[in-house]
Amino acid sequence: MSGAERLTASEAARRLEAGSLTAETLIRDCLDRIEARAEVKAWCWLDRELAVAQARAVDRDGRPGLLKGVPVGVKDVIDTYDMPTQHGSPIYAGSRPFADAACVALTRLAGGIILGKTVTTEFANRHPRETVHPVNPAHTPGGSSSGSAAAVADFQVPVGFGTQTGGSTIRPAAFCGVVGYKPSFGEFSRVGIKMQCHNLDTLGILCRSLDDLSLMRAALLVQPRRPIDRSASTPRIGFCRTPAWDHADADTQALLERVVSRLSAVGATLEDVAPAPADILDQHRRIFEFEAARNYAYEYEMHADKLSPALRDGLLKPGRELPLSAYIEAIECAEMFRAGLDDVFDEFDVLLAPSAVGEAPEGLGSTGDARFNALWTLAWTPCVNLPAGTGRRGLPLGVQLVGARFRDEALLDAAAWIEARLGS
C-alpha cells in the first residue's frame, strides 16, 4: 500500500496529472483498504478486476479530463450500465439497468472511475442495511447514503455520491465526519437516479475536502473548474437554530454556540435569523408522503410483500390517502418559505445551522433523525456539512452551512473561510 487512499480527490488528481501517481496504484490502494476494512460493510457491489481494468484504461489514455482516474463510489439507487443497481431492496436483486445515470456518465467522461456501488437504505428511505460506523461499529453511519459516507470517512474512496430527500447526505456526512454537499435543487442531473420525491430529491456529494466539491461540480455540470476563492471577504453569517433546536442534544447546542463565539471573535458578523415557519417539517412530510406514494406505484402494486413495513405502511399507505389539496397547500407553503429565504440572503451570505441532532446514535436499527436537514431540502438551497470535532462518545460532529439557491460557489467560498477559522 502506497497510502494513496488517504489523498483527497483534488490531491490525487494533481498527482495523477503530474505523473507521480497512476490510476492503477490509486485504485489498488483503495481496494486494499476496502478489503482490510471489510467490517464497515460500505459496499454492496465491487468487482476488483473491473475496477483495475478501468484504472489501466485511464492510465493508457493519459489520465484525461478533470478527474484523471479519481475513483468514485456510487450509491446503489444510481444506475450503472456495467454493475447491478439494487436500491437496497430485494425487489431489484441482481437488476442491471440499461444505461448509466447522467452523473455516472459525466464522471466517466471527466476521467473518473466508478469503483463500485455503495450501500443505501431501502430505496434511500428509512429501512437500514448493513453498513456500520467506521469509528464504532455499534453505531449507525447515518443514512440513507450510508455506504458512501462510511467509505469516504474510512479512506476507502475519496468521493462518494449520495442523494438527499430528507437528510440523506448531510446527516451521514456529519455522523461520519466528512464533507457533505447538497447542491442547489435542480443543478445536478437526476437522470438514472431512482426518483423518490420529484420536489425534494437531490444528488449529493461526500468527500474529505471542500476543494473536491469544486472539482466534482465542474465534472457534473460540464463547466470549467471554478476553484474556491480563499481570499473572499468576511462573510455575513446568520445563525439559524431552526424550529427543531430543542431536539438538538447538549453536544450539538454547545458546539454551535462555540462556533458562533469563535467566528464572532475573528471578525464575522453573526446575527440570529429564523426564516422557517414552525410547521415547515410537516410541509416536508406531506410532500414526501404524497409524491413517494405515487412514485413507488409499481413497487407497491407488484411487490408489496418485499417492501419493508416502515416504507409500505409507514409512508406509502398514508401517502395514498393524502388529499391532493393538502399536497398543493404544502407545495405553496414551501414556495413561500423559499421566497422568504431569498430575502434573508439579501442580508446574509451564509446561514449556520446544526447538521444533526448529535453524534451518530447507537444501534443499526435507525439511521437517525433528519429534522435538521429536511427543511433545507425543501428550501432547495445548497448546504455543506463541515466536520467540527467530536461529541461525548468520541464520534464526529458537524455544522451545517446553508447558502442562497444557485449561489453554490459563494457558499463554498464562505465555507472555506469558516473552515479555516474553526480550529480543531
Residues 173-192 that bind a second copy (CB under 8 A): 186-187, 189-192
CB of 348 to a second copy, least distance (A): 19
* Part in contact with a second copy (CB under 8 A); list of ranges 23-31, 295-303, 384-392, 410-418: 295-303
Instruction: Say whether residue 42 binds a second copy (CB under 8 A).
Output: no
Select from 207, 209, 203 the least CA-distant residue to 227. Answer: 209
Q: Contacts from 106-110 at CB under 8 Å and sequence distance 24+?
A: 106/189, 106/219, 106/220, 106/222, 107/67, 107/72, 107/219, 107/220, 109/65, 109/219, 110/65, 110/66, 110/67, 110/218, 110/219
Residue 57 found at the interface with a second copy (CB under 8 A): no
Q: Which one among 294, 306, 317, 421 touches a second copy, defined by CB under 8 A?
A: 294
Active-site entry in 10, 41, 117, 144 = 144
Using CB under 8 A, pick the residue from 211, 299, 349, 359 that binds a second copy: 299
Distance of CA 68 to the CA centre of its chain: 23
The one catalytic residue in 41, 68, 75, 182 is: 75
Strand order in the sheet with 350-354: 43-46, 113-118, 71-75, 159-164, 202-207, 179-182, 383-390, 396-402, 350-354, 236-239, 269-272
Nearer Cβ to a second copy (153/195): 195
Question: In the range 308-367, which residues lie near a second copy by CB under 8 A?
Answer: 320, 323-324, 328, 331-332
User: Could you give the CA distance from residue 70 to residue 177 in angstroms, rounded to a whole number?
Assistant: 21
Among residues 6, 14, 81, 253, the one that binds a second copy under rule CB under 8 A? 81
Residue located via cell numbers 409512508: 315
User: Smallest gap, in angstroms, from Cβ of residue 194 to a second copy?
Assistant: 8
Nearest distance, CB of residue 212 and a second copy, angstroms: 18
Residue from 9, 70, 102, 210 binding a second copy (CB under 8 A) = 102
Spatial distance between the Cα atoms of 287 and 282, rounded to a whole number of angstroms: 9
Q: Does 109 bind a second copy (CB under 8 A)?
A: yes
Positions in the binding site for a second copy (CB under 8 A): 81, 92, 95, 97-102, 104-106, 108-109, 186-187, 189-192, 195, 198-199, 220-223, 291, 293-302, 320, 323-324, 328, 331-332, 406
Catalytic residues, by residue number, are 75, 144, 168
